[in-house]
């Protein structure tokens, strides 16, 4: 085996291992509120990701998990929440409880 082929093989193995071992980047997942609806209503994310709710309505809303976090969403504004733990979380708007969403958070 030539040295060039040997070095190429070693580089491929090292770079491939580095890509596998590299931690994934946190993402920002956008949820739009328009006409009293969260869209998308169901999302999947991972611990460390951030959810950004964008309120396009002229009403104040919240993203409220029963017994947990609450994000206040003023009219025509947005709010964010960084996900801290895995699990499935149903949320509603405190002011408009017919608005429903679900977040599934993976480790």
Q: Is the predicted pLDDT of residue 21 greater than 50, yes or no?
A: no
In this prediction, residues 76-103 reach a mean pLDDT of 98
Domains of the chain: 25-106 (2.60.40.420)
In this prediction, residues 66-82 reach a mean pLDDT of 96
CB 54 within 8 A of CB 78: yes
Q: What is the pTM of this model?
A: 0.77
The burial of 51, by beta-carbon neighbours within 10 Å (0-12 exposed, 13-18 middle, 19 or more buried), is given as buried
Closest by CA position to 92, among listed 31, 32, 38, 34? 38
In this prediction, residues 87-105 reach a mean pLDDT of 98
């Amino acid at each position: 085996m030539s040295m060039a082929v040997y070095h190429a093989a070693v580089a491929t193995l090292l770079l491939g291992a580095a890509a596998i071992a590299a931690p994934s980047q946190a993402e920002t997942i956008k949820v739009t509120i328009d006409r009293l609806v969260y869209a998308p209503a169901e999302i999947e994310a991972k611990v460390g990701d951030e959810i950004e709710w964008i309120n396009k309505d002229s009403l104040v809303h919240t993203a409220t998990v029963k017994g947990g976090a609450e994000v206040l969403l003023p009219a025509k504004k947005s709010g964010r929440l960084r996900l801290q733990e895995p699990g499935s979380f149903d949320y509603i708007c405190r002011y408009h409880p017919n608005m429903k969403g679900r977040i599934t958070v993976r480790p």
